[in-house]
Amino acid sequence: MRVVFLAPAYPPEMIQYTRGLAEVGAEVYGVGDQPQSSLPAQVKQHLHDYLQVPRIMDEDDVIARVTAWLRGRNIDRVLANWEVLVQLAARLRERFGVPGMTPDVVRGFRDKELMKERLRTAGLRVPRSRRASTEAAVRAAVEEIGYPIILKPIAGAGSADTYCIRDAAGLEETLPKLRSVPEVSCEEYVEGEEFTFDTVCIAGKPAYENICQYLPKPIEARSLEWVSPIVITVRDMYQARLQPGIELGRKVLTALQMGDGFTHMEWFLTPRGEAIFGEIGCRPGGAHLVDQMNYTSDIDLFREWARVVCWNKFEAPVERKYNTAIIFKRAQGHGRITRIEGLGDWLREARQWAVEERLLRPGTQRRNWKQTLLSDGHLMVRHPDWDEAKRLSFAAATGIRLYAG
């Protein structure tokens, strides 16, 4: 099994997928724009060969270079788990005639308006929306849909460049911030709780499913610096209250012709109990979400994903043992981290339920919280009881403080 894997070392979690592929017996042919000499040792040991390209996002150039590099060698799969490269992987599959989702199918997971158009055609509930490439078109969409409204990139990910606009003044303030975005989706704001529906699929059917709850909703966490965003996997995901979201998610996979691999979907549960689609990607969620799922079931989804895409098998147990929460922390102030307060008390309270603590240490430069959900580090805690997992999460969110200056 010869597998071309795009960007095997970046973002950093791709290192684990590279490992997974090698562990299930694949010869991994990495393609990236990092020099081979700078690849981490834990990546190099799992690569059979590596091609450095000047610009990994220059699709035509990468296709030409990979074609020349692989001349005389047969390959079996072309894969990517980074959102910005899934379309390139599809084009390479088409070029080499290997199994996997086509460029048109993948486009339905990348283009947020096409995505919603296909789901509307399938009779699924999606937010009212319009695409816009000019400020005039945005204003026309707002006039039609009304306030509040969400503006976000057509092919974005991770809530980057995403804004909730509540009035005309907010629109005028936001439009200049979107001038670098070629095309935006203007979307109805949905009131309600926000959840994920994550899967590892074989031929579009989930072999593993997961639901997380966002606390608060990402659009709010992205606009308030003082918030410590929390994401919690739901151990009892098949409870009646969440069943509409699971049914919606499975229908979305069918309507968009999902193939093999990870999906990450976001959806809303309204106060009336209606599930409304948000968006979906044919790749894993970022910001350590796969780590959370691993802690939830005590499995290795990096390896199981590889087994699925290579051999169409999923062998890990799917029992859900814990509610697993990740808490992202943001320092108060600017510059370098100067001190951390409350961490020791929280770790003593959480005891064995705390599974990760990766806060930036004093002396480290603060990260730009607008550009990364990872912010200034995270903590992870799990517990079999939902209320206790949530209590420990909020204790970390409110009781641990980082300062910068």
Lowest mean per-residue pLDDT among 77-81, 88-92, 134-138: 134-138
Examine the domain organization and report whether 275 and 349 are in the same domain: no
| Alpha carbon 355 to its chain's center | 21
Residue 152 has pLDDT above 90, yes or no: no
- What is the reported pLDDT for 162? 85
In sequence order, the β-bridge partners of residue 186 are: 130, 151
Please report, for the domain that includes residue 118, its CATH number: 3.30.470.20
Examine the domain organization and report whether 266 and 342 are in the same domain: no
Lowest mean per-residue pLDDT among 312-326, 332-346, 361-375, 379-393: 361-375
Residue at 371: amino acid letter:
Q
Examine the domain organization and report whether 196 and 303 are in the same domain: yes
Examine the domain organization and report whether 183 and 199 are in the same domain: no
Lowest mean per-residue pLDDT among 114-118, 144-148, 378-382, 388-392: 144-148
Residue finishing a domain among 319, 339, 365 = 319
Residue finishing a domain among 188, 214, 240 = 188
Contacts of 339 (CB under 8 A, 6+ apart): 362, 402, 403
| Nearest by Cα to 57 from 87, 28, 36 | 87
Q: Which domain holds residue 168?
A: 128-188
Give the tens place of pLDDT for each residue, 3-47. Answer: 999 999 999 999 999 999 999 999 999 999 999 999 999 999 999
Examine the domain organization and report whether 237 and 337 are in the same domain: no
pLDDT range class, residue 178, cuts 50, 70, 90: confident
Examine the domain organization and report whether 197 and 148 are in the same domain: no
Query: Pseudo-torsion of CA 204, 81, 309, 66, nearest 10°?
Result: 120
> Cα–Cα distance between 327 and 354 in angstroms, integer?
11
- What is the reported pLDDT for 180? 83
Give the tens place of pLDDT for each residue, 332-358. Answer: 999 999 999 999 999 999 999 999 999
Please report, for the domain that includes residue 13, its CATH number: 3.40.50.20
pLDDT range class, residue 157, cuts 50, 70, 90: low
Examine the domain organization and report whether 254 and 106 are in the same domain: yes
Share of the chain above pLDDT 70, in %: 99
Please report, for the domain that includes residue 183, its CATH number: 3.30.1490.20
pLDDT range class, residue 133, cuts 50, 70, 90: confident
Examine the domain organization and report whether 306 and 334 are in the same domain: no
- What is the reported pLDDT for 281? 97
Residue finishing a domain among 146, 171, 188 = 188
Domain count, the chain: 4
Q: Buried (b) or exposed (e) across 229-258, using 16+ Cβ within 10 A?
A: bbbbbbbebeeeebebbbebbbebbebbbb
- Give the chain's length: 405
Give the tens place of pLDDT for each residue, 253-296. Answer: 999 999 999 999 999 999 999 999 999 999 999 999 999 999 99
Examine the domain organization and report whether 117 and 252 are in the same domain: yes
Examine the domain organization and report whether 338 and 369 are in the same domain: yes
Q: Give the side-chain half-sphere CA count within 13 A for 71.
A: 6
Examine the domain organization and report whether 283 and 369 are in the same domain: no
Beta carbons of 94 and 6 less than 8 angstroms apart: no
Examine the domain organization and report whether 96 and 107 are in the same domain: no
Average pLDDT in the chain: 95
